[in-house]
Structure 1
Amino acid sequence: MSTALHSVTSSKFGRIIWLGLVCYAAPLASATAQQVLPGIVVSGGTLDPGVIAPTGEGQPGRDTPGIPTERIGSSVTVVSGEQLRAAKVRDAGEALRSLPGVHVSQQAGPGSLTNVRIRGGEANHTLVLIDGIEANVNSDGAFDFSDLLVDDIERIEVIRGGHSGIYGSKAIGGVINIITKSGRGPITAQAAVDGGGFRTRGVAARVSGGNDKAWLSGSAQYRRSEGFNVAPRGSENDPWWNRTLALKGGFRPIAGVQVDFSLRHTKKYVSFDQEQFNALTGLNEATDANNRSLSEMFLGGAQVRWDLFKGAFTQILRASHNHTDLNSVTTFGQTQNISTLTKYGYLATYRFTTPMLLAARHSISGLVEKETEGFTPRASFTDGRERTRERLATVGEYRGEYLRRFHFAATVRHDDNTSYRDFTTWRTSISVPVPEVGIRPHASVGTSVALPGMFEQFGSILGTFTGNPNLVPEESFGWDAGVEFTLPGGKTKIDFTYFHANLKNEIRGFGNTLSNLQGESQRQGIEIALKSQLTTWLYFGASYTFLDAEEPSGKQEIRRPRHSGKASVTAKFHEGRGTFHLAALYNGRMKDDNFGTFPATVVTLNDYVLVNAAVSYKVHSNVEVFARVQNLLNQNYQEISGYNTPGIAAYAGVRFKFVDPSTLAWAKYR
């Protein structure tokens, strides 16, 4: 038995999870379903853009072409828009908490820096795409998930495991692919207002409409909170606000040609505390201070898709731009870091069949992509010089389906870099659904790479940090293997996956700078995911992750719990007009660095359980009232050493929806 498996089965929490899943699954094994779980299509994790098929908004097909999950060997979790609306989460960080293999670290409360790690990787090992546009900030290579409000999100795909063979740098731990709502359908106006704990108030509005010829969606979101006291021994609240504007649309000028575009602008203000040494505790802790930051992010992208030969041959020309401006004022002075990322690409996919040879279907894709990164530090103690680095990538992918059962994919990518040596990454995966017995073995293996963030190389914070221009890219080799079980009736699925990865040249802090560690870091673990439709009105979901993440020295990686899990229940009532959602999240003990000593020492953060509840009810076909309670048990916990987290808080609001009936027939026009 492997070390990881032994640790799971021998731990108290692990035994509870295993026993609970077995006890839950046993009685369902003989049950018959009234309705099978819906199929899920994934648009990330592959070059093949999928075949466009006419469907309504938010359903697999024309709005969101992709590949069915049963044909993909990667481990995938999809959070649907319906799930987001049931849980009444406000930002993407909340939505991702305790998903299989995923850990969220938030520096304080809503609005504060929120990092997402997948399978023990760093925050900059998670590639984030919003409508196909890379959202990572190249200053540190990560994405702050508190920036992303969820009111206009249709679904979130979490694709675990290294994917540099497709996407290049950053995709070591996995990919989070976010798709926002499209504009197809009758002309509709929606608005929502809510408020509650910590003097929080929010408003969101969206107008959309279109048919198969043209469609458009525009949205605006604004949230503001007076915050709470982050400092363990302070009294000052830390306010924040977020304003997000988005525009998404497309049109089909002629048969077979489709043009899509997406624009998104986020402006966020956050007040935050200063970290200082506390002689009474011997720890570095947040201390009341008048620090503040103002950030702006613009994401823009467009593509032209041309389908030929009845969809057998697809060509896509695409371009995107990411511009981020981060201004901070602290006790050490004022800083400004400007990051840019521009991409141009050409993708071609050819699909064909060989009926006489293994009844096979094939897909061959090729991509050429040019990428330019820019970084400009502006402060009195920096040189203010813009630095750029460029990459030219060529990618090839083959996907095959044999005997209507075996699904295989292989991808190779070569990146020609101006600032580092060139590198080649690859990935293969296999999925074999056997519906007759309700099992689907799946596996993947590949290599990945992550370039140093440009702030890590060239940034500076007076008295506390100096970049290291000699950093080299981090490199990873990883694999996973698992089995998905579908119980009789098709309404319950359970997936077990083991994963393992080695990381070379890990970048870690050393004094006031960064350096590459010698040797290999190890990450391994087990992911368990369960989803079930118990009745036509009751849904249950659960997940558990065991993670063993170690540095080359054998030291446990910080801010990565060995045990984490989640269980949730969603119930529909009163003929579907009402929805109740209850979720319990467990985060096991984990390590963190205490920089109150030199060198830094390690502290242990206690485990905790968070219980969140939400309820909504349609008082009218166009009016919905809702409420939610976060941290129902009022748990006192820390996700980062020295920083408080919010206690119990309640929120309530109302949502309005107006549909122009005169456009119902028009919206169906093709």
Structure 2
Amino acid sequence: MPVRALLLAALATVPLRAVSAQGTAALYGSVRDSSGQPLRATVRVVNGDGVGVADAQGRYRLSVPGGLVIVRVGLLGFQSLVDTLTLAAGDSVERDYRLGPAVVPLEPVIVTAAKHSQLLSQAVTSVALVSDTDVARRAVTTVDEAVDKAPGVQFLNGQVNIRGSSGYVQGLGSRVLMLVDGVPANQGDRGGINWDLIPLEDVARVEVVKGAGSALYGSAALGGVVNVITREIPSGFHARVRALGGAYANPPFDVWRFRDYTGALEGLDVTTSYGTAAARGSYTAGGWHSDGYREQDRRNHWQTAAKAQWIPTPETRVTTSGSWASDQYETPLIWCTHGSCDDRGQDFQPFMIEASGRGAFTRSDKGQLAATVEHHASERFAWQARGSWGRTDFTDFQPTGDDWGVANRYGVEFRGEVHPTGDRVVTLGAEGSFSDVRTNIFTGDANPTSNVVRTHDQREFAAYAEGERQLGRLRLVAGARIDHLDVDGGSLATVLSPRLGVVLPTARAGVWRASAGRGFRAPSLAERFVSTFVQGIPVVPNPDLDPETAWSFELGNAATLSSAVRTDAALFWTEAYDLIEPTVDSGRIQFKNVTHARLAGLDLAVTATPPVAGLTTTLSYTFLHARALAHDSVSERPLAFRPRHLLTLGADYQRGVIGVGGDFRYTSRLDRVEIYETDPRVAEKVLDLRVSAVWGAWTLRAQLANALNYIYSQVPRTLAPVRTFAATITWTY
């Protein structure tokens, strides 16, 4: 090891406490690339705890301890820079840095695949990353709109699918687990995901772990895990104001017109933060309004979020966070068919709804609080404890009678990370959760007209452990988790979820990975106890539902073919058992464990930098063979709501302060849907275009989504978004 690196490593072990008594100094300046363009680089004190992120103008400011200070400046795709300087207490020193492009881009560090920090190449399963740049370049309002373009990910009318895991059940029982900074955030009653709970401006990146993740995360991680990671709070005072404006295209034919004005979209959010070496905090508030692109589609959204950190010692960090969102929106339901509205002689009116559904309106409030304590006891042991509370409160106002529910989800977890001798890591922990709902719709009453009010609850207790070991070039991973579930105080099931994995880096063929693991999902309280009507058909409860289970296998490879081309490919195979589906029998709907399914295919992602300065291109493709296997008297058939082909092409070009780009998404025609199967279905062909510009503290971004105004539906009789123009202007201090 070079002497310089040895000295750096030795200096990095100097305790911060030894110098903190000497007071603090201010370090400030700018970070730019070799052409002078500002970079939002991370500026970190190596031998301390100070960290900051440069703003849109490349400016940073840190409060650092007096004495010897080692600063590391880095940004993905650029060569890191280490600076050593000596500061006296009370000094205020300006330091400007320039970063050159990395010959090989720096490898990202991820935290979700193994529940601890590791390099992306060390993960035994496929992981897709959505950076803050990916989120920001699209003038969108919620996280899901940006995650939708990640390789292998598709949203069907708001419900997330990773390699076809969830299909579509109108927000019930997601087979993907959502985390916010590692804290579970799925709904306590319906098991769905509130993607608009976290303000978009607070998102630093999103990690998407594909395949069964129950060996570490338990229920709902049957198809994968999405971890939304919020921004670090930088030192000093920072502020950001973002304004949004846009418009929806009118129907392409006059016979489809349903209003005499153009629908609009507008919003505003404000973020402020202040940080010192010992304490930091941030606060975001804002909202937006949408007229919608179809009849009865207006929506108002209000949100607020806060985050605070206390760092009493360099080894200990306490983080608290909270968010709340409120929505008041009209419910468009299904589109109008001949005779069910003023159809104007048409077989269907995609922009209008059936007359029987007019007046439907929803009020939905949701929030989450979390607290985490992290402590690094030594180089060999660290632990983390966290507690969380999530709440949803909704009322569906309908002409035939209102449905409502108030649900809570409480969670606790203790996790330890042990580094024994050698290159070994052991992660172990225990987790518990309690969910309850008081409602007039998820009651368990066999008579949907009774309007009785009842309360149900579900408890989950789990313990897990996973070990990693390096054997030469080979990295081995093995672990398991055991979950015990009970509903309304009665024991339900105990599920064991093991996982095995291996990673093998090679000199010429990239990094190979292989894994096998078991996933499961406990039925949501809504699926068990729902009692209502859907389009006049009674929906009756089934409290005897069993958990869904699946075995997931993957063989993958990540390779750098040249300095300009990187690829990631994976073959996957999932055998799923007891999948819960709504079934129609004797004139009523009931959720049942009916399906043994097989989902197999190929997942491919390619990133290329052509020999044109500033141009980056991406390609992602998923081939999916999803079959519901034969059972009882039902023959084998395609699994509903799973497209066979999913292709996304992307390109971005940056020249100075101006950037342009676009995405094209092709989704093949669905082989099967579960309702209105005779309705015509078409493939999805959607082109999005975008442009951005930066002037000092101001950033302008604009996007034209569905630029060709392609008219299609992702789920039966529900019009997908039409051409939408949206622009944001952001001021950063």
TM-score scaled by length of structure 2: 0.76
Residues 189, 205 of structure 1: 8 Å contact kept = yes
Distance across 1 between alignment mates of 2:360 and 2:391: 23
Distance 2:728 2:335 in 1: 39
Structure-2 residue corresponding to 1:502: 575
User: Helix, strand or coil for the counterpart of 1:290?
Assistant: coil
In structure 2, C-alpha distance between the alignment counterparts of 1:93 and 1:67, rounded to whole Å: 25
Partner of 1:129: 179
Structure 2 residue 144 is matched with structure 1 residue 90 = no
Residues 574-613 of structure 1: per-residue CA shift (max 9 Å, x gap): 2xx22222111111111454645xxxx4655211211111
1:539 positional shift = 1.4
**Pick aligned residue for 2:387 from 311, 319, 322:** 319
The runs of at least 4 consecutive aligned structure 1 residues that moved more than 6 Å come to 280-285
Match of 2:558 among 465, 473, 484: 484
CA distance in 2: counterparts of 1:339 and 1:555, whole angstroms: 36
C-alpha deviation, 1:100, in angstroms = 2.4
Give the direction of change, closer, same or farther, for the CA distance of 1:604–1:495 in structure 2 (3 Å limit). Answer: farther
2: CA distance, partners of 1:525 / 1:653: 38
Alignment of 1:299-378 (within 5 A): 299-309=368-378, 311-354=379-422, 361-378=423-440
Contact conserved, 2:638 with 2:672, CA < 8 A, in 1?
no
Counterpart Cα distance in 1 of 2:720 and 2:595: 35
Q: Given residue 551 of structure 2, which amino acid in structure 1 is its aligned partner? A: F
Change in CA separation of 1:646 and 1:119 when aligned onto 2, cut-off 3 Å: closer
CA deviations on 1:141-198 (whole Å, 9 max, x unpaired) are 2214355552221101110000111111110110001011121233111101121113
> Which position in structure 2 is the counterpart of 1:546?
623
1:382 CA drift (Å): 4.0
The residue that corresponds to 1:110 in the other structure is none
Q: Secondary structure at the match of 1:639?
A: strand
Deviation of 1:140 (Å) = 2.4
Which digits, 9 at most, give the CA deviation of each residue in 1:218-237, with x for residues without a partner?
Answer: 112311111121xxxxxx34
* Inter-CA distance 381–273: structure 2 relative to 1 (3 Å threshold): farther
> Do the aligned residues in 1 keep the contact of 2:581 with 2:594 (CA within 8 Å)?
no
Counterpart AA for 2:529? F
Q: Mind listing any 5+ residue stretches in structure 1 that lack a counterpart?
A: 1-32, 50-65, 107-113, 230-235, 355-360, 659-670
Distance 1:431 1:578 in 2: 40
2:279 is aligned with 1:214: yes
* 2:321 match: 262
Q: Is the CA contact (8 Å cut-off) linking 1:218 and 1:248 kept in structure 2?
A: yes
Which amino acid counterpart does residue 421 of structure 2 have in structure 1? T
User: Paired residues, what number?
Assistant: 579
The partner residue of 1:461 within 515, 519, 532 is 532
Q: 8 Å contact 2:653–2:659 — kept in the other structure?
A: yes
1:117 lines up with 2:117 in the alignment: no
CA distance in 2, matches of 1:298, 1:146: 10
Q: Deviations over 1:616-635 (max 9, x none)?
A: 1112x211222221111111
Residues in 2 aligned to 1:202 and 1:43: alpha-carbon distance in whole angstroms = 32
1:279-298 pair list within 5 angstroms: 286-288=353-355, 289-298=358-367
1:432 and 2:504 equivalent?
Answer: yes
* Residues 236-287 of structure 1: per-residue CA shift (max 9 Å, x gap): 3410122121111211112311111111111112211244884579999842
Cα offset, 1:336, TM superposition = 0.8
Match of 1:632 among 707, 717, 733: 707
1:42-53 alignment to 2 at 5 Å? 42-47=110-115, 49=116
RMSD of aligned residue pairs (Cα, Å): 2.2
Look up the SS of the partner of 1:82 in the other structure. Answer: helix
> Which residue among 713, 718, 725 is the counterpart of 1:650?
725
| Residue in 2 that maps onto 1:472 | 546
Contact 2:152 2:163 survives alignment (8 Å): yes
TM-score, normalised to structure 1, is 0.82
Q: Deviations over 1:454-505 (max 9, x none)?
A: 011112224542221111111111101111221133x421112111111111
Change (3 A) 1:212 1:550: farther
Distance 2:274 2:549 in 1: 45
Structure 1 pair 100–652 and aligned structure 2 pair: CA distance change class (3 A): closer
- Within the candidate set 273, 276, 291, 1:226 is matched to 291
Give the residue type in structure 2 aligned to 1:639.
Q
Conserved? CA contact 1:381–1:460, under 8 Å: no
Letter paired with 2:430? V
The structural deviation recorded for 1:132 is 2.0
Deviation digits for residues 7-42 of structure 1, max 9, x if unmatched? xxxxxxxxxxxxxxxxxxxxxxxxxx9642231111
Q: Partners of 1:35 and 1:194 in 2: how far apart?
A: 37
Q: Structure 1 stretch 454-463 or stretch 491-500: which is displaced more?
A: 454-463
- Whether the 8 Å contact between 1:184 and 1:216 is mirrored in structure 2 is no
In 2: Cα distance, 1:68 partner to 1:538 partner: 26
The equivalent of 2:12 in structure 1 is none
> Aligned residue for 1:26?
none
Quote the residue 2:614 is aligned against.
537
Cα deviation for residue 131 of structure 1 reads 1.8
Question: In structure 2, which of residues 191, 200, 209 is the aligned counterpart of residue 150 of structure 1?
Answer: 200
Cross-structure match for 2:30: none
What amino acid sits opposite 2:163 in the alignment? R
Paired with 1:176 and 1:469, the residues of 2 have a C-alpha distance of 29
Q: Distance in 1 between matches of 2:330 and 2:527?
A: 23
Distance, in Å, in 1 between the alignment partners of 2:213 and 2:391 is 24
Whole-angstrom CA distance in 2 between matches of 1:142 and 1:277: 27
> How do 1:22-171 residues align onto structure 2 when only pairs under 5 Å count?
35-47=103-115, 49=116, 66-106=117-157, 114-122=158-166, 124-145=174-195, 148-171=198-221
Q: 1:373 to 1:67 in 2, by over 3 A?
A: same
Query: Which deviates the most, 184-193 or 141-150?
Result: 141-150
Give 2:49's aligned residue.
Answer: none
Partner SS for 1:88: coil
Which blocks of at least 5 consecutive residues in structure 2 are unaligned? 1-100, 167-172, 248-262, 340-345, 442-448, 631-635
Q: Over residues 629-660 of structure 1, what are the superposed CA-to-partner deviations in whole Å (9 max), with x where a residue is unaligned?
A: 111111111111111223222222321111xx
In the alignment, residue 637 of structure 1 is paired with which amino acid? Y
**Contact 2:188/2:390, CA 8 A, preserved across alignment:** no
> What corresponds to 2:692 in structure 1?
616
Aligned CA distance change for structure 1 residues 529 and 352 (closer, same or farther; 3 Å): same
Deviation of residue 407 (structure 1)?
2.1
The answer as to 2:584 corresponding to 1:522 is: no
Q: Distance in 2 between matches of 1:410 and 1:382?
A: 49
Q: Which residue of 2 aligns with 1:559?
A: 641
For residues 211 and 680 of structure 2, the distance between their equivalents in structure 1, rounded to whole angstroms, comes to 27
Q: Distance in 2 between matches of 1:569 and 1:319?
A: 41
Q: Residues of 2 paired with 1:296 and 1:655: CA distance?
A: 27
1:151 counterpart SS class: helix
Matched residue SS, 1:99: coil
Kept after mapping to 1: 8 A contact 2:503/2:512: yes
1:567 Cα deviation after fit: 1.0
Aligned equivalents of 1:266, 1:388: Cα separation in 2 = 24
- 1:74-117 Cα offsets, whole Å, 9 max, x none, are 100000001111233322222122432222112xxxxxxx1001
Establish whether residue 185 from structure 1 lines up as the match of residue 244 from structure 2.
no
| Contact 1:580–1:616 under 8 Å retained in 2 | yes
Q: Residue 213 of structure 1 aligns to which amino acid in structure 2?
A: A
Q: Using a 3 Å threshold, how does the CA distance of structure 1 residues 258 and 34 change in structure 2: closer, same or farther?
A: closer
- 2:715 alignment partner, SS class: coil
Match of 2:260 in 1: none
Q: Distance in 1 between matches of 2:347 and 2:628?
A: 25
Could you say which residue in structure 2 is the equivalent of 1:586? Answer: 666
